[in-house]
Amino acid sequence: MINDLWYKNAVIYCLSVETFMDANGDGVGDFQGLQRRLDYLAGLGIDAIWLMPFQASPQRDDGYDVTDYYNIDPRYGTLGDFVEFTHGAKQRGIRVLIDLVVNHTSDHHPWFQQARSDPNSVYRDWYVWSGKKPANADEGMVFPGIQKTTWTYDEKARQYYFHRFYEFQPDLNTANPHVQAEILKIMGFWIQLGVSGFRMDAVPFVIAEKGADVKRLSKRYEMLRRFREFLQWRLGDSIILAEANVVPKENLKYFGEDGDRLQMMFNFHVNQALFYALASSDARPLIKAVEATRERPATAQWGIFLRNHDELDLGRLGEKQRRKVFEEFGPDKGMQLYDRGIRRRLAPMLDGDRRRLELAYSLMFSLPGTPVLRYGDEIGMGDDLSLPERNCARTPMQWSAEPHGGFTKSRRPVLPVISGGPFGFEHLNVAQQRRDPDSLLNWMERLIRMRKEVPEIGWGDCVPLNTGDDGVLALRYDWRNNSVLVVHNLHSRPVEVSFVAGVGEHGNLLIDIADGASSDADANGRHRLLLDAYGYQWFRVGGLDYLLRRREI
């Protein structure tokens, strides 16, 4: 049962209420502040907002440790403010997705408190216990170097409890039908309050078998179908976007062979190859990753991203490739995290080089899938490596040159706003970039408009073309008799390449979507293209008559 496939071609913008805009001056972002910025987001042209966790929480993992799934953290406002916000977003045609963190709760959650205090409590079996310390307690940590174990002894329960993440995030026993029913209830609740779906946290762990005797991580994929079915019964066009960093051969298990499980997944495979391509000027592993993740049901879609709120996880690259990315983008120990990733924002990784930033975002917006942009990236925000772990890339939005970047009137923002240096709010902020027609912000707005005019990317078949240069990536998308070609030069020098665009049916003219310039193939059907250093171009492909009819030129 599918009503609308809006997510096949959308631009998603991820933000944290806490650090976006503070309206009441207490130093913490809130829903009223976010509400005031809705016109800014509508102007940018995004289709959906993904809100990071905002439910009641002791905030030991930035809200990924929930104490009440049916309420919001009072620092951000009230449920009333939330509904005002979803209504305001709806008025502007913007959908809202929210984080759904149900692999675990906070250890302060009343369910866990009752479970540990009373062996006869119905909540005891909502968590995963063991009388003895399991043999594998020192394995499977998600935050190596910081997290010591996956089983912690609880004095009150006199048992060990399982936690895939930090010890204050006890795993829910998702095999328990009551827990499953509660997950559906949580989804149903937020759907009623106006959201269009969920970014589901840690999906492979949600569906994994959990327990002291579990040797192999077997998964209950069937659960995913039940989540989807329930959602669609309640609201036909609502979706689940899965955080699932898995190998390509598992993808279909998450999407469902017939597209009957989750609608979207983040493409971690392409993400890592993309960073390798940017670091090495070698597009071959990226093409491989695009091909390895090509197969998906027609109604399923990838979320394509560059950086998110976590570290850039390079765990799936080969050793040599990983070393190359570290060398280029995170050479110092302080830039790295959990032995597998880089914790910086994109702009500082690329030395704030506008050409490289445009190249990276042009790629992100033109790889097969739906682009997911992180707040602040549209103005090229930096990071603060003096902050612990992933907080360095979670600093408040830089709105203006006013104190604290116009984020808050309080003297103590929840996290310090980046000040001084090339990424300081004093000169890197929204107000300044709005006034400058050449700013990254205005460029991003144009890129978003262009992406929305090219639905072929979300819907079409993607064919890599041979350019004869491993550092030049050319992808053609074919959909409903239309073809679009995107070309990216990963080299730091200009290059000339030649290729066969290879559509033929309507002719072989290339029309640059940005400036309308056209070029035809030579007598052998080959195009020659001169690309600037880190240059990129998006084309429509076809014959003159055909493109005129479509009003493309």
Out of 47, 61, 62, 201, the active site residue is 201
CB of 373 to ligand NOJ, least distance (A): 16
CB of 165 to ligand NOJ, least distance (A): 4
Report phi then psi at 322, rounded to 5.
-60, -45
Rg for the chain (alpha carbons), in Å?
24
* CA 268/CA 285 separation, integer angstroms: 13
CB of 292 to ligand NOJ, least distance (A): 23
Report phi then psi at 48, rounded to 5.
-150, 145
Q: Are 123 and 76 in contact (CB under 8 A)?
A: no
Specify the residue, 165 or 329, whose C-beta has the smaller distance to ligand NOJ. Answer: 165
18 binds ligand NOJ, rule: CB under 6 A: no
Specify the residue, 49 or 462, whose C-beta has the smaller distance to ligand NOJ. Answer: 49
Report phi then psi at 44, rounded to 5.
-65, -30
| Strands 461-464 vs 312-313: parallel, antiparallel or unpaired | unpaired
358 binds ligand NOJ, rule: CB under 6 A: no
Query: H helices within 142-267, ranges in order?
Result: 177-192, 203-206, 222-234, 251-255
CB of 114 to ligand NOJ, least distance (A): 22
310 binds ligand NOJ, rule: CB under 6 A: yes
101 binds ligand NOJ, rule: CB under 6 A: yes
Letters for 432-471 (x = contact with ligand NOJ by CB under 6 A, - = none) are: ----------------------------------------
Spacing of C-alpha 306 from chain mean position = 8
User: Length of the chain in residues, anyone?
Assistant: 553
Spacing of C-alpha 245 from chain mean position = 12
* CA 163/CA 107 separation, integer angstroms: 10
Which residue sits closest to ligand NOJ, CB atoms considered?
Answer: 64
Report phi then psi at 82, rounded to 5.
-60, -45
Q: Are 228 and 263 in contact (CB under 8 A)?
A: yes
243 is a catalytic site residue = yes
CB of 325 to ligand NOJ, least distance (A): 20
* CA 530/CA 165 separation, integer angstroms: 49
Specify the residue, 316 or 488, whose C-beta has the smaller distance to ligand NOJ. Answer: 316
Longest dimension (CA), the chain: 82
Specify the residue, 305 or 499, whose C-beta has the smaller distance to ligand NOJ. Answer: 305
Q: Are 490 and 534 in contact (CB under 8 A)?
A: yes
Q: Torsion angle, CA of 328/332/334/336, rounded to 10 degrees?
A: 40
CB of 433 to ligand NOJ, least distance (A): 28
Residue 304 CB neighbours (<10 A) = 23
Query: H helices within 333-395, ranges in order?
Result: 346-349, 354-366
CB of 540 to ligand NOJ, least distance (A): 37
Specify the residue, 52 or 350, whose C-beta has the smaller distance to ligand NOJ. Answer: 52
Total binding residues toward ligand NOJ, as defined by CB under 6 A: 9
Buried b (16+ CB within 10 A) or exposed e, 362-376: bbbbbbbbbbbbbbb
Residue 247 CB neighbours (<10 A) = 10
* CA 164/CA 141 separation, integer angstroms: 6
Specify the residue, 392 or 490, whose C-beta has the smaller distance to ligand NOJ. Answer: 392
268 binds ligand NOJ, rule: CB under 6 A: no
Specify the residue, 210 or 527, whose C-beta has the smaller distance to ligand NOJ. Answer: 210
CB of 341 to ligand NOJ, least distance (A): 12
CB of 64 to ligand NOJ, least distance (A): 3
Out of 22, 99, 154, 243, the active site residue is 243
Specify the residue, 201 or 478, whose C-beta has the smaller distance to ligand NOJ. Answer: 201
338 binds ligand NOJ, rule: CB under 6 A: no
Specify the residue, 81 or 311, whose C-beta has the smaller distance to ligand NOJ. Answer: 311
**147: amino acid identity, one letter:** Q
Letters for 239-258 (x = contact with ligand NOJ by CB under 6 A, - = none) are: ----x---------------
Specify the residue, 310 or 478, whose C-beta has the smaller distance to ligand NOJ. Answer: 310
198 binds ligand NOJ, rule: CB under 6 A: no
Letters for 20-59 (x = contact with ligand NOJ by CB under 6 A, - = none) are: ----------------------------------------
Residue of 303, 181, 179 whose CA lies nearest to 242: 303
Letters for 366-405 (x = contact with ligand NOJ by CB under 6 A, - = none) are: ----------------------------------------
165 binds ligand NOJ, rule: CB under 6 A: yes
64 binds ligand NOJ, rule: CB under 6 A: yes
Letters for 474-513 (x = contact with ligand NOJ by CB under 6 A, - = none) are: ----------------------------------------
CB of 228 to ligand NOJ, least distance (A): 20
* CA 452/CA 93 separation, integer angstroms: 14
378 is a catalytic site residue = no
Q: Among 22, 154, 201, 377, which residue sits at the site for ligand NOJ (rule: CB under 6 A)?
A: 201
Q: Among 30, 61, 378, 456, which residue sits at the site for ligand NOJ (rule: CB under 6 A)?
A: 61
Contacts for 277-281: CB closer than 8 Å, 24+ residues apart: 277/363, 277/473, 277/490, 278/328, 278/329, 278/350, 278/356, 278/359, 278/360, 278/490, 279/324, 279/325, 279/327, 279/328, 279/329, 280/321, 280/324, 280/328, 280/490, 281/470, 281/471, 281/490, 281/491, 281/492
Q: Among 23, 41, 128, 202, which residue sits at the site for ligand NOJ (rule: CB under 6 A)?
A: 202
Residues that are catalytic: 201, 243
- Would you tell me which residues interact with ligand NOJ (CB under 6 A)? 61, 64, 101, 165, 201-202, 243, 309-310
